[in-house]
Amino acid sequence: MGIEILGLPLMYYIAMVVKVLVAFVFVLLTVAYATYAERKIIGHMQVRLGPMRTGWHGLLQPIADGVKLFFKEEIIPSQASTFAFLIAPLIALIPAFITFAVIPFGGTIEIAGYKIPLQVAAYYDTAAGQVFDVNVGVLYVLAMSSLGVYGIVLAGWASNSKYSLMGGLRASAQMISYELSAGLSIIAVFMLSGTLSLTKIVELQSGLGGFEWYIFKQPLAAFIFFICSLAEINRTPFDLPEAETELVSGFCTEYSSMKYAMFFMAEYANMVTVCALTATLFLGGWNGPLATAIPLLGPVYFVAKVYFLMFACMWIRATLPRYRYDQLMHLGWKVFIPVALLNIVVTGIIGFFI
Amino acid sequence: METLFFLIITLVAIISAILVVTCKNPINSALSLIMTFFCLATYYVMLDAPFMAAVQVMVYAGAIMVLMVFTIMLLNIRVDSSKKHSHKLVLGSIIGFFTLVNTLFILFKSKAAMPNGPYSGEVIKKLGHTELVGKEIFTNFLLPFEITSILLLVAIVGAVILAKKKI
């Protein structure tokens, strides 16, 4: 059918480009307005109004912030290691965005007789009659998030300043510790699903009218995963790498202008990805009532779940104070890892008898 | 298409591998090493072994290299100040040459050159790479797997004893 390039129909390439653009623009817009939403939500929770001056109720604030950061002076400290200093924001930003490639944001839709799965790194094989995606999707996400650490560590080291170095050290220790318990808590999900592919994990949660979510079977794993993810992306109450009361601004103290904006974007893009992954693994992804009958409802449910989890992140930030460093390590190594291991054992025993 | 992709990745891998040994700054060397690991992961993807690729990035590029960078940061080594020694260059070239001969021998003369075991490419594609690795580790290779786990446990206990003053 139609024109073929390298053995694949033209529609395949068009669908791919469109999916990449849609996912990218979605993450970018969400990142921009998450900064606004965060200030607004925390403002109202603390009985303030938040940004009000730029546009109606401050709606143009993200654009104003972007323009301001774009036109700021670029400063590279004279004692900094220039190459690492320049490349660190990029290393932080790129993994944050490419993680989104494997997350399914909807079911399979059909355009002009060509079936398109709503997931960037997936295609529908007409000959085999099924969707092929990255069959180690979850591991890909974990691998990419472990690369994101380098951005922060390098930024801390390359700035050649005490505050930055402390921030970088704290960040690397914290992220390595919490990656472990996050990974261990997902294993319980794999034991239920028997697959690492995110498409299949979402399909397995489609029973009971779209409400057979893994959070009901694995509430403990869901809780541990979400909390550990918060720690991994340095959100409050685990934002020790940039604790402004002790470290000025932590690893990004010496950064200015667009490079600072990149760290900022990476932080919020990571938040979007973590919320999307939690929604996919535990909240049924794009599943919901009637989602299989009307394919376009899938993305709506997915976005609603992601935004709800992001709201929860901001709520936590407005509510909880920051952890002390030894408490943070105690929580990660002595509480979450044993509990996650116990969860695996219990899941295994129950799974053996059912 | 795949050949072209392979060539590009190989070029990047070789350049970053050279940078690992030529960079003056240890952090830049570490970064190049991460790049090399990443290229190796790409090879695994091209060989239909996505699980190996993910583990390669997660364990080598993600975990081990973070510890390396962490150590370099803590010791705060800025620039390698050791003088150049010509005998190191000679020794390195000899070792490199023998490694190359060894690799070529394994590729063309040894058993590995003839993949006629039970798991050919078609079987792996049908059963799934990840499933196969899991099944083999927990059935046929259970003993080596358990021995490795005990070895790692001993290493962890040893590290704790070395690091802790009071136990």
Task: Say if the Cβ atoms of A135 and B54 lie within 8 Å.
Answer: no
Query: Structure tokens of A315?
Result: 């709520």
B111 band by pLDDT with thresholds 50, 70 and 90: low
Looking at residue B148, its pLDDT comes to 92
Task: Say if the Cβ atoms of A81 and B27 lie within 8 Å.
Answer: yes
Task: Say if the Cβ atoms of A136 and B1 lie within 8 Å.
Answer: no
Looking at residue B116, its pLDDT comes to 65
Contact A160, A77 (CB under 8 A): yes
Correct CATH for B1-80 of 1.20.120.1200, 1.10.10.10, 2.70.98.40, 3.30.230.70: 1.20.120.1200
pLDDT at B113 over 60: no
Query: Which of B58, B67, B131, B135 best probes binding to A when mutated, by most A CB atoms within 10 angstroms?
Result: B58
Contact B20, B36 (CB under 8 A): yes
pLDDT in tens, A308-322: 988 988 888 888 888
- The chain-wide mean pLDDT, for chain A, equals 81
Q: Where are the alpha helices (DSSP H) in chain A?
A: 10-45, 61-70, 82-98, 137-158, 162-193, 198-204, 207-210, 214-217, 219-232, 244-247, 257-282, 297-319, 325-330, 337-353
B29 band by pLDDT with thresholds 50, 70 and 90: confident
- Distance, in angstroms, between B57 CA and closest chain A CA? 6
Task: Say if the Cβ atoms of A142 and B66 lie within 8 Å.
Answer: no
In the A/B pair of chains, how many CB contacts fall below 8 A?
A: 80
Task: Considering only residues B114 and B65, tell me which one the structure prediction assigns the higher pLDDT.
Answer: B65
pLDDT at B147 over 90: yes
- Which residues lie below 8 Å from residue A158, measured CB to CB, with a gap of 6+? A80, A81, A84, A85, A88, B27
Dist CA A73 CA A62 (whole Å): 19
Looking at residue B99, its pLDDT comes to 92
Residue of B nearest to A5 (CA): B1
Structural domain spans, chain B? 1-80, 114-167
Collapsing DSSP states into helix, strand and coil, what is residue A294?
A: coil
Contact A174, A186 (CB under 8 A): no
Contact B69, B30 (CB under 8 A): yes
Residue of B nearest to A150 (CA): B66
Contact A140, B58 (CB under 8 A): no
- The chain-wide mean pLDDT, for chain B, equals 82
DSSP-assigned beta bridge partners for residue A122: A133
Task: Say if the Cβ atoms of A6 and B1 lie within 8 Å.
Answer: yes
Collapsing DSSP states into helix, strand and coil, what is residue A54?
A: coil
Angle at the Cα of B36 from the Cα atoms of B30 and B40, rounded to 5 degrees:
145
pLDDT at B61 over 80: yes
Looking at residue B155, its pLDDT comes to 92
pLDDT at B35 over 70: yes
**b/e map of A27-63 (b: 16 or more CB within 10 Å)?**
beebbbebbbbbbbbbbeeeeeebbeeeeeebeebbe
Mean pLDDT over A73-93 rounds to 80
Query: Structure tokens of B8?
Result: 């590009």
Q: Which residues from B are below 8 Å from A when comparing CB atoms?
A: 1, 25, 27-28, 31, 34, 50-51, 53-55, 57-58, 61-63, 66-67, 69-70, 72-74, 76, 78, 128, 130
